[in-house]
């Protein structure tokens, strides 16, 4: 195993916070819809059942940024992301939006300090401002 990959097995936080990003297939703007957002909220409320907790997030037209905490080894981050994508795809299919909906894989980063969380959250919340979708992040 390459050195970089081997060290990722050593996470000393019992329940680390992951910063994840998933993009739509070909960056199609298909996520900016109340039905998709409702499905995301419903999915997030099933944290106890899924062994993972959805924290702060921003749903952009062509990608999602989210903070996730996993319970002790009940589920992998990859499994949780697959379930999230499937749940949102169900909403998209109900609106007759043809698949594929998602790019393969996702980006993830383990947050290692309060500073790291603050920096990532600032990036996430300002994303709609940078994209010209809102004037202030809390809009």
pLDDT digits (tens, 9 = 90+) for 49-75: 888 999 999 999 999 999 999 986 778
In the chain the domains, ranked by start, together with CATH numbers, are: 13-130 (3.30.70.1290)
Instruction: Using DSSP, state whether 82 is helix, strand or coil.
Output: helix
In the β-sheet with 17-23, what is the strand arrangement from edge to edge? 52-59, 63-70, 17-23, 107-110
pLDDT digits (tens, 9 = 90+) for 79-130: 999 999 999 999 999 999 999 999 999 999 988 877 678 888 898 899 999 9
What average pLDDT score do residues 33-42 get?
96
Q: Is the separation of the CB atoms in 128 and 58 below 8 Å?
A: yes
Query: Considering the entire predicted model, what is its pTM?
Result: 0.84
Q: How many CB atoms lie within 10 A of CB 92?
A: 21
């Amino acid at each position: 195993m390459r050195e970089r990959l081997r060290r990722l097995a050593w996470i000393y936080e019992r329940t680390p916070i992951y910063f994840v990003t998933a993009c739509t297939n070909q960056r199609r703007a298909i996520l900016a819809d109340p039905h998709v957002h409702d499905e995301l909220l419903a999915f997030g409320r099933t944290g106890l059942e899924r062994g993972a907790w959805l924290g702060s997030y921003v749903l952009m037209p062509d990608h999602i940024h989210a903070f996730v905490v996993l319970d002790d080894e009940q589920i992998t981050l990859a499994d949780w992301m697959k379930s999230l994508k499937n749940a949102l795809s169900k909403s998209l299919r109900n609106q007759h939006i043809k698949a594929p909906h998602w790019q393969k894989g996702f980006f993830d980063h383990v947050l290692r300090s309060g500073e790291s969380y603050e920096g990532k959250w600032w990036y996430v919340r300002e994303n709609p401002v940078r994209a010209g979708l809102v004037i202030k992040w809390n809009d």
